[in-house]
Structure 1
Amino acid sequence: MNLEDEFAQYRGELVAHCYRMLGSLHDAEDAVQETYLRAWKGFAAFEGRSSVKTWLYRIATNVCLNALQHSSRRVVPSALGAPGNDPYDLEAQALEISWLEPFPDLLDPALVVGNRQSLRLAMVAALQHLPPRQRAVLILRDVLAWQAAEVAELLDTTSAAVNSSLQRARAELARLAPAEEHLSEPDEPVRRALLDQYAVAFERADLVTLEGLLTEDTRWEMPPIPTWFSGRPDVMRLLEARLPRGEGRRIMVETSANGAPAFAFYVRGDDGFFHAHSLQTLTVTKAGISAVLAFHKPSLFTAFGLPLSRAGGE
């Protein structure tokens, strides 16, 4: 295997690693590009004391840490304040805020299956609350299973300091990680039926069915809109106010993000075509749909291999 092929085989997992660190697919891809540039330039000095894979992870981690010196953490609306309760009083899109982004499973499906828990949106959102170096320690130790000595060498510190940082990171993550991360999903036939019912009900604006699919403590967030809603009554008021009645006005196209079900939501325009509106990621539990994170950023559709517009018959 030549060097170029050896580098290329690790691209998917490096993007996932940088995504956990940065909370943004776009930033992660930029970080991996910078990693490869540094690797090509520095390969002559590579002494082979570790594998090429480990060496690339070292470079990528440092690239991410450097990037985090000049950027704010990625967030979701619920991290910014209390929920709203008036669907007619939504805050304007806050484009100046660094919002968390979803990770398209199509980049490397096998990788996502093997690392599903660490790529969950709720988990990545929680990681963003950790200081950058503490975040790196936790990911390297608990996700990549590096030894403390390896992490200490990368971060130019001691194994004792790494272990201490890891304990603090685990404690903070346990506090931040939402409860649904520890709830089991329904069996596949039940899960499949629930998703099918949800898609059809949303397309038809069938509020009765939607209400029955949501859990009592469900949450609805819509970055870059800071306003979010918590609890089935308030979420239903939002849907009733913002989801126009009638069939043939919306299309839901199933996809997958962060190892979880997702839907691309299209709305019919005056030209008769359906145009990208938002990308909905769902948290599905045995009790129903406990959270919807609807990214109102049509440009995300491209990363998921989805068109920005489609004819009604597609």
Structure 2
Amino acid sequence: MEQAAPFRSELMAHCYRMLGSMHDAEDLVQETYLQGWRSYETFEGRASLRTWLYRIATSICLRALENRARRALPSGLGAGSADPDVPLDNGDSPLGWIEPFPDAWWTPGSPEAAFAGKQSVRLALVAALQELPARQRAVLILRDVVQFPAAEVAQLLDTTPAAVNSALQRARARLTEVGLTEDGTVEPADQERRELLDRYAAAFEQADVDALTRLLRADVRLEMPPLRVWFSGREPVTRFLASRGFAGVGGVAMVPTGANGQPALAAYHPDGDGVLRAHALHVLTPGVGGVSGIFAFLDPELFAAFGLPPTLRKAS
């Protein structure tokens, strides 16, 4: 199965789009390769090896979704708050939380594939995909993201091209209903990305509310899984971060990384013993005129998947 190795990255992204979890995606791709290895002698070459692997992976994802609740972001569970002093809940949710996806896990073969891959794992899209029934989700991903022809998707899902086209229309209509839009979203150039990360990191490391305010759009959102509460609007977002997210000048370290094709930073907070400990992964949505979204994943266990250490020593 050496010839199947080049497809691991895109299969990982495919399973992530289907389930919204990088950990589930990793497990299901492993299962895909194991099943493919066991049944490789039955591969007759009627379809490409890539299509055959997608068939296995999609089937495994659909089975997994039969017994799992969909994943969501806080904005998918209720209205945002404009009160930065609102009590924070304990994160209890009947659903699982969408996880970030490390950019390092996506290794496309061309710049065009890199751009398409990044766009297709953006957090807003992945969250919207979870609103779709599993088979509609699979059809939309295979047609609009992977760009398989309808006839090929029909064979892959053991259905008809007419059924595929019908499911695709319903899936697109549903995404419109849930308000999926990229309006105002921009793909920053490398230099702009670095400058954005540097300015955001400096605002936190220097506890500079004014600098942070200048970075944010008026309609910015702040979401912090696993907390259900989320905030909408520059004023409540900056007030909340200033009172509960800053740790004083020099108290926080921000390490650049990449997630979901979006600029991201790993935040380390002090523990009182001279050690900075993993606290949250901040994934930013850049927009026209500033940052339009901040997703602060408050789960230090995510750091390992991004190749980040659990602790840092404070600079003397």
What TM-score do you get using the length of structure 2 for normalisation? 0.93
Q: 1:129 to 1:272 in 2, by over 3 A?
A: same
Whether the 8 Å contact between 1:112 and 1:119 is mirrored in structure 2 is no
Distance in 1, Cα, partners of 2:304 & 2:240: 27
Unaligned runs of 5+ in 1: none
Distance in 2, Cα, partners of 1:279 & 1:285: 19
Q: Is the deviation greater in 292-301 or in 151-160?
A: 151-160
Amino acid across the alignment from 1:28: A
Amino acid across the alignment from 2:302: L
Whether the 8 Å contact between 1:138 and 1:170 is mirrored in structure 2 is yes
Q: Which residues in structure 2 correspond to 1:33-72 (within 5 Å)?
A: 33-72=30-69
Question: Which one of the candidate residues 115, 118, 121 is aligned to 1:119?
Answer: 121
1:93 is aligned to 2:91: yes
Q: Which residues in structure 2 correspond to 1:1-314 (within 5 Å)?
A: 3=1, 5-84=2-81, 85-94=83-92, 97-110=95-108, 112-180=114-182, 183-185=185-187, 189-313=191-315
Distance in 1, Cα, partners of 2:235 & 2:39: 57
Whether the 8 Å contact between 1:219 and 1:291 is mirrored in structure 2 is yes
Q: Is the deviation greater in 185-194 or in 78-87?
A: 185-194
Alignment size in residue pairs? 311
Whether the 8 Å contact between 2:130 and 2:137 is mirrored in structure 1 is yes
Q: 1:98 to 1:129 in 2, by over 3 A?
A: same
RMSD: 1.8
Q: 1:238 to 1:178 in 2, by over 3 A?
A: farther
Whether the 8 Å contact between 1:22 and 1:74 is mirrored in structure 2 is yes
Deviations 1:56-90 (A, max 9, x none): 11000000000000001110000000112243411
Unaligned runs of 5+ in 2: none
Amino acid across the alignment from 1:230: S
Whether the 8 Å contact between 2:16 and 2:24 is mirrored in structure 1 is yes
Shift of 1:114: 3.9
Whether the 8 Å contact between 1:186 and 1:286 is mirrored in structure 2 is no
Deviations 1:224-278 (A, max 9, x none): 0101001111112211220345222100001111111000000011221110000
Whether the 8 Å contact between 1:265 and 1:280 is mirrored in structure 2 is yes
Q: 1:108 to 1:292 in 2, by over 3 A?
A: same
Deviations 1:4-31 (A, max 9, x none): x212221111111100111000001111
Distance in 2, Cα, partners of 1:109 & 1:262: 18
Q: 1:190 to 1:108 in 2, by over 3 A?
A: closer
Q: Tell me the SS of whatever aligns to 1:246.
A: coil
Deviations 1:158-197 (A, max 9, x none): 1111101111111222333544455334555444333211
Q: 1:180 to 1:241 in 2, by over 3 A?
A: farther
Distance in 2, Cα, partners of 1:307 & 1:132: 35
Whether the 8 Å contact between 2:55 and 2:156 is mirrored in structure 1 is yes
Whether the 8 Å contact between 1:65 and 1:132 is mirrored in structure 2 is yes
Q: Tell me the SS of whatever aligns to 2:96.
A: coil
Distance in 2, Cα, partners of 1:109 & 1:293: 23
Whether the 8 Å contact between 2:55 and 2:157 is mirrored in structure 1 is no
Q: Is the deviation greater in 102-111 or in 178-187?
A: 178-187
Q: Is the deviation greater in 166-175 or in 103-112?
A: 103-112
Q: Is the deviation greater in 176-185 or in 208-217?
A: 176-185
Distance in 1, Cα, partners of 2:156 & 2:181: 33
What TM-score do you get using the length of structure 1 for normalisation? 0.93
Distance in 2, Cα, partners of 1:188 & 1:18: 27
